[in-house]
Every structure is written in structure tokens, then in C-alpha cells.
Structure 1
Amino acid sequence: MFKQTVKDKELVRTEHTEKTTADSIGLIIDKSVVVERSEVDTTVVVPKKVVEQTKESVNMDSLINGITIISDALVDVQLMLNPVTGALKAIATLHPQSITVRGIRTITTHKDVTQRSEQKKAVLVNDKAERKTVHKEKEPAKMGILLAIAVLLILLFGAYKLLNQK
């Protein structure tokens, strides 16, 4: 009552919330068809070849009646008689040929790929801070007021006693 008092009260309240959510969906579908086509166009060459065969002592009558000479685009056949030795010689000449080779190669690839992926992420951060400060200060009562109250009480007490004595 007669001394000065000071009270400081401080209240600090903090709140931290963190909310994380993640969400993602992906779908990849590949149904493609890949066709690889390659063509080969080349020529194979068979070179000229000469084949000879000799038959010893052929009868002249069979040469006249039974021997044929062949000549076409692929081969020439010649018969030669050696009158001195009596040997019959057959000569076959194969002409060079070009053979065309064509090739077509096709590779077909069918893709059927389904790929699914998910990815989710979200972060929500909430920070709250609350600070409350209370400052109370009490001063001592003034002496003049206290003396006035004391005198008033004495007068009231004295008036009460006087009234009760009579």
C-alpha cells in the first residue's frame, strides 16, 4: 500500500503447422508400328567358261548321222574332228550371264507400351506468433488522502460514542 510496485507479464504463443500433400498422375501409351523396309537390287555375274571333252577313235559314219551343233544365248557347242588322229573334240562355251537378284526385306515392329507414373507433392507452412504484454504499475496512496480518511473515521467514531452515551 505504501510502496510502488510494477508487474510486467509477457505471454508468447507460437504455432507452426506444416501440411504436405503431393499428387500427380501420368499415363504414357505408345501403340506405334515401325516398318523398316530395305530393297536390294544387285546383279550376279557368271563368267565365261569353256568346257572341253575329247573322245578317241570315233567312227566317221556316226559323225555324219548323229552329231548336232548347238548355238543359243547361253551356250555354244562345237564338234571338231581331227582327221589325222581320228579324235572327235566337243567344245562347249558358256556365255557370261548376268543374273539380277532383287530382295525386299520388311521388318515390322509393333509397340504396345503403357507406362503409368504418379508424383504428388505440396507443402503448406503456417506460422503464427502471438505476443501479449501486460504492464501493471501501482503507486502508493497519497498521504493527504489517508489522513483525511483517518480523521473522518475518528470523527465518525467519536460521534457514535457521543450518541450512544446519552
Structure 2
Amino acid sequence: MMTLTQFYLTKISEEADEIAQIALKAQQFGLSEVQPGRDQSNAQRMYGEINDLLAMVHRLSEVSKGEFFFDIGLPDHVAISMKLSKVEKYLAYSRSLGLVEPEQHSDERCDRAPEGWHCSREKDHAGPCAAHPDDSDDNDVIARSKRVLALVDTYLGPFSDLPTKQSRDDLRHGLMREFGVKP
């Protein structure tokens, strides 16, 4: 017999599979394509499935008795930026192999990344930055200190009077990543 945690882990897997299936269809036929017999585009269907996934992640957080926590209202912007940065590196490699179309260059780059970081996306892009530390020596104490302060600013923010348990945990994990310490 499954526990509720196991049940919702299964549901998360099912929803993720559905997102992957629609993403592959959109890759082949386009985001705007409406499959015969359906009334929503691939983009609309994927949006719906992503919300279904978030609902199951939220429910898992509720039933897991503290083993899993995810607040869909408080995304981990540093983790998102780190992932976007990692994907940007693989994108550059794929482009160097001629497998992905060349970058459409804009003269204006994003200027929202914290001091000591840079974003590889265009100015006024949607969503979080694909920010990563400026190319500097990790032993450069001043550069590293600026990156740490940027992490603190990101997690606590200028409008936060009292840090939450989640923001403290996020900050701790971000600092551990910065200093290469395993949680």
C-alpha cells in the first residue's frame, strides 16, 4: 500500500511526463499549433500541465510531514539563475557545433544582475536573469564578498522586514554553493 507521499510522487512524475510529451510536440509542430480535435495550442496545453505539476508539488509539500517543502509562491531565484546560466553554457556549446541557430545579437545586454555578476540575456528580458559571477578569481576576496552580499540581497530583499525560515534556508544553501560546501 502506498503512502500519500508516494502517491503524490507518482502524480508529479505523471505530470512531468505530460509536460515532456507536449514539449516534444511543440518542438516538432510549433507552440502555436492546435492539434486536430483539440481547442488549445501546444503552448496553452503546456501552461496547463505546468500548473498541474505545481499543484501536485504543492500537495506533496502538504502531505510529506516535513520531508519536502516547496512554496510555489516563493521561487528560489538564485537556483533558477544558476540553472539558466548552466543551460546558457550548453547552448553556447551546441551553437559552436552548429546544432542550434546563432544568437540574435542585441547591442543592449541585461543590466539587472547584481554587482559582481552578469546576465547573458538581452535587456528587459522576461523572467529571472541567467546570471553568473563575473569571470574573476575565486580567491579574490572583494569579488567573492560582493557575490555573497548579492546573495543576501536576493534572498532578504529590500522590502523584507523579517526573514522567513525559507529565506534563511535559501540563503544558507546559496552561501554553501558559493563556498563549495555540501549541505
Q: Structure 1 or 2: larger helix share?
A: 2
- Structure (1 or 2) with the larger CA radius of gyration: 1
Higher relative contact order (CA 8 A, sep 6+): 1
Question: Which protein has the bigger strand share?
Answer: 1
TM-score of Structure 1 vs Structure 2, range by shorter chain: under 0.3
TM-score under structure 2 length normalisation: 0.14
